């Protein structure tokens, strides 16, 4: 079912196609995040139009609200949110560790209190898989523990637990129509990362996720970790770098052999009125755009840039009109998806390596990243 066809390799960058029950996924691919079964402010029709193929949704959020059993009863997540193309769900592990009010971890699982109403719940590998089977995504994740990368002793312990949980996640799976990915952990320690990459690679997962990055470490530490991990992964399985990233991260991740990315950045930036552009990031609330008749990015072919001026979008922002968030989200998501589409073309032509510095220069304006505490959805 989940055949991954490697079409072309350019340096370490890979062009691939991953077969799923909801269509073939061209990789590399960037997935918009639809935390609560909706990519914020957009209809599925708008998502399709801007070029999205894979969408991520969050197990922790959907378990708490509306409940995975409700989603199952409504025919699964594809039917519920009306996304006919591939969907990926995470394991819920990251949100339990980053978002729940309290959590108590033991070797069997984790007991936590909901950030919504304080109610107590328990996730185990078996429970995470059962929830994800109810949700019915095409790609699902083994239950994992994401540690603080600065605490090495804890990182090792969390990694070992993640490995045992990976085995239990595999055993717990009952549906054959979902690709269960194992997750490599190990923080920023190269020895642990290598150990985890080898351990997870040795298991019969159809794909491999790289977790625990973009959680507070430096960019260099993230790239170093990727340099350790990806060469140890099997060549014939897709690799998914969880919760990453910025345009720069996508370029650098693809150059290190990553195939799948997801990040809330484009939609979160949109809610902060910030837009990607070939001039760098723009904050469209800025008074300098009040009389600006240009689109956000004159180079861009998205619906927003084909129709609306910066002056209009700024007017919507200052008037507190929700359409501002919709229009900027369309643009930001289209920009990252188009970046990845362009890179697929470069890999196909075998010229990606030679384009990296140009792409980094074009997309490297990262000044506003600091204003966002985390690029993971919370």
Binding residues for a copy of itself (CB under 8 A): 36-38, 40-46, 61, 65-66, 70, 73-74, 80-82, 290-291, 293, 303, 307-309, 311-312, 314-316, 318-319, 321-323, 325-327
Annotated catalytic residue 90: yes
Residues whose CB falls within 8 Å of the CB of residue 282, separated by 6 or more in sequence, listed in order = 274, 275, 289, 296, 310
Given 68, 90, 259, 297, the catalytic residue: 90
Q: Is the distance from CB of 98 to CB of 76 less than 8 angstroms?
A: no
Please name which of 196, 249, 242 lies closest in space to residue 97, comparing C-alpha atoms.
242
Our CB check for a copy of itself shows the closer of 79 and 354 to be 79
The residue among 35 and 162 lying less far from a copy of itself, judged by its C-beta, is 35
Q: Contact, 282 vs 274, CB < 8 A?
A: yes
Q: Look up 249 and say whether it is catalytic.
A: no
CB distance 185 to 196 below 8 Å: yes
- Identify which of residues 183 and 327 has a Cβ nearer to a copy of itself in the complex: 327
Q: What residues are paired with 283 via a beta bridge? A: 274
Using the minimum distance from each CB to a copy of itself, give the nearer residue, 36 or 173.
36
Q: Rounded CA gap, 15 and 243, in Å? A: 21
- Residue 75 buriedness (CB in 10 A; 0-12 / 13-18 / 19+): exposed
In angstroms, give the least distance from the CB of 55 to a copy of itself.
13
Looking at beta carbons only, is 78 or 163 nearer to a copy of itself?
78
> Shortest Cβ distance from residue 135 to a copy of itself (Å)?
13
Least separation in angstroms between CB 244 and a copy of itself: 24
Residue 321 CB, nearest approach to a copy of itself (Å): 5
Candidate list 138, 189, 259, 262, residue with the active-site label: 262
In whole angstroms, how close is the CB of 80 to a copy of itself at the nearest point? 6
Q: How far apart are CB 66 and a copy of itself at their closest, in Å?
A: 4
Residue (306 or 370) nearer to a copy of itself, CB = 306
| 3-state DSSP percent of the chain in helix, strand and coil, to 5 | 45, 15, 40
Task: Determine contact, residues 378/96, Cβ cutoff 8 Å.
Answer: no
Cis status, amide bond into 28, omega within 30 of 0: yes
Helix (H) or strand (E) holding 155: helix 152-172
Token pair of 192 as six digits: 């642990």
- Cα 37 versus chain centre, distance: 14
Whichever of 312 and 346 has its CB closer to a copy of itself, that residue is: 312
Q: Hey, is 261 helix, strand or coil?
A: strand
Residues 6+ positions from 153 with CB-CB distance below 8 Å: none
CA distances from 321 to 219, 271, 325 (A): 35, 11, 8
Q: How far is the CB of 174 from a copy of itself (least distance, A)?
A: 24
Look at the alpha carbons of 69, 107, 196, 253 in this order and tell me if their dihedral is positive or negative: positive
Query: Catalytic residue positions?
Result: 90, 262
């Amino acid at each position: 079912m989940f055949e991954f066809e490697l079409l072309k390799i350019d340096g370490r960058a890979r062009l691939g196609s991953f077969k799923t029950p909801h269509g073939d996924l061209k990789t590399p691919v960037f997935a918009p995040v639809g935390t609560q079964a909706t990519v914020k402010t957009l209809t599925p029709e708008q998502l399709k139009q801007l070029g999205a193929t894979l969408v991520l949704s969050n197990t922790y959020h959907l378990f708490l609200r509306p409940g995975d059993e409700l989603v199952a009863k409504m025919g699964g997540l594809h039917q519920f949110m009306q996304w006919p193309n591939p969907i990926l769900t995470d394991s819920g592990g990251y949100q339990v560790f980053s978002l729940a009010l309290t959590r108590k971890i033991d070797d069997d699982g984790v007991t936590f209190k909901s950030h919504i109403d304080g109610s107590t719940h328990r996730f185990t590998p078996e429970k995470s898989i059962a929830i994800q089977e109810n949700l019915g995504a095409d790609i699902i994740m083994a239950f994992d523990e994401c540690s603080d990368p600065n605490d090495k002793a804890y990182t090792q312990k969390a990694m070992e637990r993640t490995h045992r949980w990976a085995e239990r996640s595999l055993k717990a799976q009952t549906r054959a129509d979902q690709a269960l990915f194992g997750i490599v952990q190990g923080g920023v320690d190269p020895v642990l990362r290598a150990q985890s990459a080898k351990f997870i690679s040795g298991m019969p997962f159809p794909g491999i996720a790289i977790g625990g990055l973009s959680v507070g470490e430096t960019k260099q530490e993230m790239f170093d970790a990727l340099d350790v991990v990806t060469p140890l992964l099997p060549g014939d399985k897709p690799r998914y770098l969880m919760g990453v990233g910025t345009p720069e991260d996508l370029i650098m991740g693809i150059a290190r052999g990553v195939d799948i990315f997801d990040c809330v950045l484009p939609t979160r930036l949109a809610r902060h009125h910030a837009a990607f552009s070939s001039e760098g990031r723009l904050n469209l609330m800025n008074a300098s755009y009040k009389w600006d008749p240009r689109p956000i990015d004159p180079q861009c072919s998205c619906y927003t840039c084909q129709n609306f001026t910066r002056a209009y979008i700024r007017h919507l922002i200052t008037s507190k009109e929700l359409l501002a968030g919709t229009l900027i989200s369309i643009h930001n998501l289209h920009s990252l998806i188009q970046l990845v589409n362009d890179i697929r073309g470069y890999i196909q032509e075998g010229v990606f390596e030679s384009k990296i510095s140009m792409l980094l220069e074009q997309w490297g304006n990262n000044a506003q990243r600091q204003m966002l505490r985390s690029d993971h959805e919370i």
